[in-house]
Structure 1
Amino acid sequence: MEGNKVVIDNVGGSRENFSSADGRPPIPNSIGGGSAFQRYGMPASLTKSVVRHHSLGMTRCTDIPIEPRLNEDGCDAEYIPLLRSGAWADMGSRSCMENVYVCADNFMRDYGLNSPTRRPSAFYGVFDGHGGKHAADFACYHLPRLIAEDENFPHEIDKVISSAFLQTDTAFAEACSLNADLASGTTALATVVIGSSLVVANDGDCRAVLCRRGKAVEMSRDHKPVCLKERRRIEASGGYVYDGYLNGQLNVARALGDWHMEGLKRQNGGPLSAEPELLSTKLTEHDEFLIIGCDGLWDVFMSQNAIDFARRRLQEHNDPMMCSKDLVDEALKRRSGDKLSVVVVCFQEQPPPNLIVPRGRVQRSVSAEGLKELQSFLDSLKC
């Protein structure tokens, strides 16, 4: 894994980028706005030890089934991905940048853990702040550390990640009680790779999409108040949906922070949930890359459309950072009106191969790409 690096984007400018091929920078404490993270601090009650959150029993981790790959002896053989990553951010037409991302291609080493094996480990996250950047900064800095410091990591990965989300939210509530100027919120999407296992945890409307042999596999679900599942949960928690907004205030159903918004959160639960939804899968040689993006990207890209676009770019230059920039630039051309942050993680050393699509007997007027986009649109209506 030579050349890996951990990067935290905590700058206030309009653009920020990185590629994991550029060498390894300092540890996260000293990157970019490390001191800015430090000034929020972790409340004293959570710095002594990492304790699993009391509501963890509600969390479920859903697997996307795949067929196991067998070695010559007929036993399961674990596929080991080669991780390469890149990211790009742009605040677009907004007056300030509230998004933050973190990329650690070697999570265990970069966060001071001893790995008993040579299996790859990585952490990637995108945090889309609203009402200020403080919640996004806080989560970006503390969430991966809480995961790394849990004594059950990486053996009980789904429970560890869920607990880290809830602990981060609780800690930020305490930080806001000490300093009201921190009041803000953020959506959060975290991806952890351990060996061939890919786990995605999502709070809000950031999205992760896996490219599996050219096909888009959504690894997260957008948490919008209008979705039936979220609406039922909101109403059961004493909230309501008005004009597509949670309690008429927020256009997401799950987020970290927002403790200052009346009627959305309580210590024992509330309409606005901080509990992440998890999806996991085993990576195989058919898995090419993963796109993680905030909602500004998905406002103008459907999942399959983004995969097709990124796949063509990776075939041209095979550079995840340039691919991230290509996606951001294209989103701006398509008039995305939101802040943009994109992370692209490649699982192969080589660019995506050309796929041969069998020619059908009956001619059609819609292209294969168009049919994929139509299917993605129809699938999105099922939420």
Structure 2
Amino acid sequence: MLTAADLSMDVGIVVNESPADEKSNFLPVFRSGSCAERGLKQYMEDEHVCIDNLVEHLGASSNFPAPGAFYGVFDGHGGTDAASFVRRNILRFIIEDSHFPICVEKAIESAFVKADYAFADDSELDISSGTTALTALIFGRTLIIANAGDCRAVLGRRGRAIEMSKDHKPICISEKLRIEKLGGVIYDGYLNGQLSVARALGDWHMKGPRGSACPLTAEPELQETNLSEEDEFLILGCDGLWDVMSSQCAVTIVRKELMLHNDAERCSRELVREALKRKTCDNVTVIVVCFSPDPPPRIEIPQFRVQRSISPEGLNLIKGHM
């Protein structure tokens, strides 16, 4: 596994340091809930996956460290073929990669590209369909978020929203520079006037020969952190949620709901309900992952006692007006 220093040297991986002690004995206990609604769209093109016990899912022979979990949201466009294919295969590509488990980060990056190529090779699928891909792989205390597209992962840390991914919109400065450097154009916020995201799997009608650099890429950006007692839950959502809600608002809603009923699935339903109430125009898919069997504790706001003192000069001034 790469060290934090090694990861910081890789422009594709961001290390998000937890404020907690690195020697913490905290080990997360995973439980999740999900909700997906078509919304105002004519078709449902989102896909998602929730695996709370990855060791059990893969089998004892996998040698995957426990506890382990895997989650993903895949926001399809131009049909469901790409999103469905990636949902079914992305974990397999990660586990079977030659870098796994020595360098999980490299395995994830490679898996996104391999999944993109494998989709293009499937003659029974519409390779002009596309999908964003947001995955969360957790083993022990290590959380690795990989993102290609405009889905978003947000960590709830004692009531604060910690964004674990960046929205890959064509108008994002870093994406705009990358696109234009590779000969692409952005028209009215769309990549080459066609696509509202700057990274996606599929969409092979917009990509060049395999292995060539092109404005639309399937390569993910990664963020990694070590979970601590302060990290209470993770929210994964497609842009149908984030188009109408801030990251902090979502964290506040989930924390409040968990304190009421401690049910991750009800939390995901509440976020979807709120997004629909706010008239989101897209499909809405949300996953809420809790890291403890217990609800979040109440946040105690320290009471500061303010002492006011008046100088002798000030006191004399007041007396002079009495």
Task: Find 1:356's aligned residue among 262, 283, 300.
Answer: 300
Task: Find 1:200's aligned residue among 145, 148, 166.
Answer: 145
State the aligned residue count: 297
- Give the 3 Å change call, closer, same or farther, for CA 191–180 of structure 1 in structure 2: closer
Structure 1: how far apart are the matches of 2:77 and 2:10? 27
- Give the 3 Å change call, closer, same or farther, for CA 68–149 of structure 1 in structure 2: same
Whether contact under 8 Å (1:59, 1:162) holds in the other structure is: no
Whether contact under 8 Å (2:238, 2:286) holds in the other structure is: yes
- Match of 2:268, SS state, is helix
Q: State yes or no: 1:156 paired with 2:103.
A: yes
Q: State yes or no: 1:279 paired with 2:223.
A: yes
Over the matched positions of the two proteins, sequence identity in percent amounts to 51
Which has the larger Rg?
Answer: 2
- 1:58-69 residue pairs with structure 2 within 5 A? 60-67=12-19, 69=21
- Which residue of structure 2 lines up, in the alignment, with residue 340 of structure 1? 284
Structure 1: how far apart are the matches of 2:64 and 2:169? 40
Letter in 2 for 1:341: T
- Match of 1:220, SS state, is coil
Q: CA deviation at 1:95?
A: 1.2
- Match of 2:132, SS state, is strand
Whether contact under 8 Å (2:97, 2:110) holds in the other structure is: no
Structure 2: how far apart are the matches of 1:112 and 1:163? 23
Q: State yes or no: 1:125 paired with 2:72.
A: yes
- Which residue of structure 2 lines up, in the alignment, with residue 311 of structure 1? 255
Structure 1: how far apart are the matches of 2:96 and 2:126? 28
Q: Deviations over 1:111-147 (max 9, x none)?
A: 3353557621111000000000000000001101111
Q: CA deviation at 1:67?
A: 4.1
- Larger relative contact order, structure 1 or 2 (CA cutoff 8 Å, min sep 6): 2
- 1:226-245 residue pairs with structure 2 within 5 A? 226-245=171-190
Whether contact under 8 Å (1:87, 1:325) holds in the other structure is: yes
- Which residue of structure 1 lines up, in the alignment, with residue 113 of structure 2? 166
- Which residue of structure 1 lines up, in the alignment, with residue 91 of structure 2? 144
- Give the 3 Å change call, closer, same or farther, for CA 67–311 of structure 1 in structure 2: closer
- 1:1-383 residue pairs with structure 2 within 5 A? 60-67=12-19, 69=21, 76-112=23-59, 114=61, 116=63, 119-175=66-122, 178-179=123-124, 181-261=126-206, 264-267=207-210, 268-358=212-302
- Give the 3 Å change call, closer, same or farther, for CA 354–180 of structure 1 in structure 2: closer
Q: Deviations over 1:68-108 (max 9, x none)?
A: 526xxxxx244210111110100011111110001111123
Whether contact under 8 Å (2:153, 2:236) holds in the other structure is: yes
Structure 1, 100-109 or 339-348: larger mean CA deviation: 100-109
Structure 2: how far apart are the matches of 1:249 and 1:159? 30
Q: CA deviation at 1:179?
A: 3.9
Q: Deviations over 1:47-74 (max 9, x none)?
A: xxxxxxxxxx98632101124526xxxx
Structure 1: how far apart are the matches of 2:259 and 2:133? 30
Q: CA deviation at 1:317?
A: 0.8
Structure 2 unaligned segments of length 5 or more: list them.
1-8, 307-322
Letter in 2 for 1:93: L
Q: TM-score, normalised by structure 1?
A: 0.74
- Which residue of structure 2 lines up, in the alignment, with residue 366 of structure 1? none
- Match of 1:108, SS state, is helix
Q: CA deviation at 1:359?
A: 5.6
- Match of 1:137, SS state, is helix
Structure 1, 304-313 or 265-274: larger mean CA deviation: 265-274
Structure 1: how far apart are the matches of 2:300 and 2:44? 42
Whether contact under 8 Å (2:235, 2:289) holds in the other structure is: yes
Structure 1: how far apart are the matches of 2:303 and 2:79? 52
Structure 2: how far apart are the matches of 1:341 and 1:282? 26
- Give the 3 Å change call, closer, same or farther, for CA 361–127 of structure 1 in structure 2: farther
- Give the 3 Å change call, closer, same or farther, for CA 136–59 of structure 1 in structure 2: farther
Structure 2: how far apart are the matches of 1:58 and 1:135? 28
- Which residue of structure 2 lines up, in the alignment, with residue 50 of structure 1? none
- Which residue of structure 1 lines up, in the alignment, with residue 310 of structure 2? none
